[in-house]
Structure 1
Amino acid sequence: MQKNTHNKLNAYIKRVGEQNDIDDATQKFNVSPNGAQKIIAAIRESNWFLKRINVISVKNQKGESIGLSATGMIASRTDTTGAGKRTPKDYSSLGAMPYMCEQTNFDTAVRYAKLDNWAHMKNFNTLLSKAHREQIDANKITIGWYGETAETTTDPATNPNGEDVNIGWYQAMRTHNSDRLITEGVEGSGVIKIGEGGDFINLDMAVLETKNLLHPACENDSNLIAIIGGDLLAYDKAKFYEAHGNTPSEKSKIEELQVIGTYGGLPAVKVPGFPPTGIMVTSYDNLSIYIQEDSVRRSVGKKNDEKDQIENFESMNMAYVIEELGKVAAVEFKNVKLLIKGAWV
């Protein structure tokens, strides 16, 4: 590490210490409440999807979903001239979900050579504080879809999508909302066939049937979306191309992506990290990441000369929460088969 780099790194470490009222930021410390809020704000800003869902701090490590939106018909009339009384109702719960904030670690390293390249830049502190941040937050989303367990020691070789890091939204469906999770088709063999002659003739019908599993109070919510995996969208687009690719007006619609605008009457979205054969119908504000207050811990800029790198350690207690179980339905992505060249694969 060059002398100028060393000086800038020490200034950065000192700055982090001042922000958190500690003497040495290279030693593990509890992030201040203000610092934790800044981290949560940075998480939300790092990815468009994280901006749309809820990323909030909660006091208790264990509890039930807060219920951040109201669903159903609130408007009413009551004749109060006689014995009738207006009766307020709580429309914020169609099924609360229990949660447990599990410690999740995000530990990264930056090579000395990279620091030397950054040292002459005026935004050195910004570069260092944001190093790996986007990828860390992208990992949070992926775990939200694929996470199944929270193991004491994780194994990325056998669980490349963080299946063993934390319990995500899909696993919450399996555990707490199985009646709204389609796991098999009419054959009852644990397979869901999408395509001509299958359980759903096309993607549009698959989304529509998924939507029909929602609580009746949610079926007509204007903020519902269909989150659809990339392989399903590509499959449907290919089928459309096959049928209409030689028609100029239809071909232009394909190229303008208009053909994936809606499915089952809902706006379709492609979300980062979402399983390629998955379908989930819900609203953005029905998905949450809870971060327990006072659980964010860090150490930054710790030198490891044996590896020629500095090491940053960060952890927080997190939970992936569905706010209203009645407002989400999904297709089990593990079981989906598509009709390709006459075979179900």
Structure 2
Amino acid sequence: MLEATKVVLNAYIKEVAKQNGVADATQKFSVTPAATQRLIAQIRESNWFLKRINIIPVINQKGEAIGLGSSGMIASRTDTSGGKTRKTKVAHSMKAMPYLCEQVNFDTHIRYSQLDAFAHLKNFNTIISNQTREQINANKITIGFYGASCEANTNSTTNPNGEDVCKGWFQAIRDHNSKAMLTQGKTVDEIRIGEGGDFINLDLAVMNVKGLLHDACENDADLIAIIGTDLLAYEKAKFYAKNGNTPSEKAKIEETQVIGTYGGLPAVSVPGFPPSGILVTSYKNLSIYIQEGSIRRSVGKQNDERDQVENFESMNIAYVIEQIEKAAAVEFDNVKLWIDGAWV
């Protein structure tokens, strides 16, 4: 590392220490409540999807979902002139999902050569702060969809999507409301979408998944369908095959990107979502809980043996569905599409 790089790196480390009220940021420290709020704000700002869902600091490591949102009929009338009194109603009567915030580590390093390359820039502190933050937060989303277990020792080779890091939202449905997880059609452990399958098209598949929601929220105005890229591409290919040579129809394809609505719901594509997945819920029904006081960091630790600066960060997090019965999905590994004369 160049001497000039050491100067600006040390200045950055001192600034982090000052913000967190510690003497040395290269030694593990607990992030202050104010710094925690800043970190949550950074998480939300880093990704459009994280802006729309809930990221909530909670006091207890375990408990039950806060239960944000409401469903069902709250409006009523009562004639109080005859002695009757108005009675309040619970915002929703669906069962609460239990949660457990588990420690997740986000440990990264930056090569000395990389630091040397931008040490002369005035925004060095911003660059080094954001160097891996975007990818860390993208990982949070991927784990939220793929996470199936919390293993003591994870293996990114066999579980490239963080399947063993922490239980995510799909796993919450499997564990706490399995009847809302569509696992198969006429064929065991297969959900076939296409001509001759369980669902002739994606519209019907989404409509059937929506039908697995609790009756009280099946028609909520904020429902969306998160749909995997493989399913969208499959549907788009069929649309092109049928209408692609008609100029007016082709224009419609390009204009709407074929993602307008499916099964009567606004359809969205989220990075990190399983390519063959379908999840029907609302943005505000999905949460990431971060236990207060659980964030630990050490910043700028030099490892000369590897020519790199190392940053260690951990926090206790849980993926929560606020109203567990307001979420339904397909078991994405079981989805099969009719392609070239076979179900694949």
DSSP-derived class of the 2:217 partner? coil
1:91 match: 91
CA-CA distance at 1:93 after TM superposition: 4.3
Give the whole-Å Cα distance in 2 for the aligned partners of 1:236 and 1:178: 27
CA-CA distance at 1:33 after TM superposition: 0.6
Give the whole-Å Cα distance in 1 for the aligned partners of 2:21 and 2:333: 48
Give the whole-Å Cα distance in 1 for the aligned partners of 2:342 and 2:313: 47
Give the whole-Å Cα distance in 2 for the aligned partners of 1:242 and 1:297: 53
2:242 match: 243
One-letter identity of the residue aligned with 2:302: K
Give the whole-Å Cα distance in 1 for the aligned partners of 2:210 and 2:230: 20
Give the whole-Å Cα distance in 2 for the aligned partners of 1:344 and 1:20: 55
CA-CA distance at 1:84 after TM superposition: 2.3
DSSP-derived class of the 2:270 partner? coil
- When structure 1 is superposed on structure 2, of 60-69 and 80-89 the one drifting more is 80-89
Matches within 5 A, 1:1-345: 1-187=1-187, 189-345=188-344
Q: Is the 8 A contact 1:278 1:333 kept in 2?
A: yes
Q: Superposition RMSD on alpha carbons, in Å? A: 0.9
Give the whole-Å Cα distance in 2 for the aligned partners of 1:243 and 1:330: 29
Q: Is the 8 A contact 1:62 1:101 kept in 2?
A: yes
Give the whole-Å Cα distance in 2 for the aligned partners of 1:92 and 1:27: 46
Q: Is the 8 A contact 1:94 1:326 kept in 2?
A: yes
How many residues are paired up? 344
Give the whole-Å Cα distance in 1 for the aligned partners of 2:58 and 2:52: 18
Deviations 1:22-51 (A, max 9, x none): 111000000111011111110000000000
Deviations 1:129-167 (A, max 9, x none): 111100000000000000011111101110000000000
Deviations 1:107-134 (A, max 9, x none): 0000111111111100001111111100
Deviations 1:65-90 (A, max 9, x none): 00111111111101222242211011
DSSP-derived class of the 1:256 partner? helix
Give the whole-Å Cα distance in 2 for the aligned partners of 1:293 and 1:93: 28
Q: Is the 8 A contact 1:226 1:281 kept in 2?
A: yes
Deviations 1:154-190 (A, max 9, x none): 0111000000000000011111111111000033x11
Deviations 1:235-267 (A, max 9, x none): 000011111111111111112234220000111
- When structure 1 is superposed on structure 2, of 289-298 and 12-21 the one drifting more is 12-21
Runs of at least 5 residues in structure 2 that lack an aligned partner in the other structure: none
Poorly superposed stretches of 4+, deviation over 6 Å? none
The TM-score with structure 2 as length reference comes to 0.98
The TM-score with structure 1 as length reference comes to 0.98
DSSP-derived class of the 2:258 partner? helix
Deviations 1:172-218 (A, max 9, x none): 1111111111000033x111000111111100000011111111111
Give the whole-Å Cα distance in 2 for the aligned partners of 1:27 and 1:190: 50
Q: Is the 8 A contact 1:68 1:92 kept in 2?
A: no
Give the whole-Å Cα distance in 2 for the aligned partners of 1:13 and 1:96: 43
CA-CA distance at 1:221 after TM superposition: 1.1
Q: Is the 8 A contact 1:67 1:93 kept in 2?
A: no
CA-CA distance at 1:281 after TM superposition: 0.5
Give the whole-Å Cα distance in 2 for the aligned partners of 1:108 and 1:344: 41
